[in-house]
Amino acid sequence: MNKKSFWVAFIIGFTLLFFGVKYFLAQSTQDRIMNDMIAGFTLAEQDLNAKLPLRIDEKTTLLRVKADGAVFTYEYAVNDVENTGDKSALIATFRSFVAPSVCNRVDMVRFMGYGARYVYSYSFEDGEVIGSFAFTKIECPAAFQP
């Protein structure tokens, strides 16, 4: 092997090694962030559930939260809301109130960037399910604009 071939092989090998290590570190960081996020969700579930149920306003009570991997669910009961049978309209109304606060919360947006999903589930006070909706980075596109 002549000197030129040696240096070409060395540069190619070094380049491959550099990008391989960079990829490995990026994956390790992503995995570490995901694991930390999931652990944080689990701790938040325990902490919040110890304080629930909690009256949010005159019509809404947060009953419980659930952490399941990268999914964090809020379960609410509503009272003094007329059950007209059009549950999809109620869910759309609830979503319109919740969306701005979720999509503008820096911590939630950051976690959505790593794959978190926030689910909001609603039922009437008697337990009848109204419905649910979720937020991921797809539902908050403005938060991810450069």
Per the structure, the count of domains in the chain is 1
What whole-number distance in Å separates Cα of residue 105 and Cα of residue 143?
Answer: 9
Q: Is 129 helix (H, G, I), strand (E, B) or coil?
A: strand
Q: What is the pLDDT at residue 79?
A: 92
Report the CATH number that the domain containing residue 28 is assigned in CATH.
3.30.300.250
Tokens of 54: 């909690």
Tokens of 80: 């003094």
Q: Higher pLDDT residue, 1 or 56?
A: 56
Q: What is the pLDDT at residue 102?
A: 94
What whole-number distance in Å separates Cα of residue 144 and Cα of residue 146?
Answer: 6
Tokens of 140: 């908050």
Q: Which domain holds residue 100?
A: 3-144
Q: What is the pLDDT at residue 75?
A: 97
What whole-number distance in Å separates Cα of residue 102 and Cα of residue 96?
Answer: 11
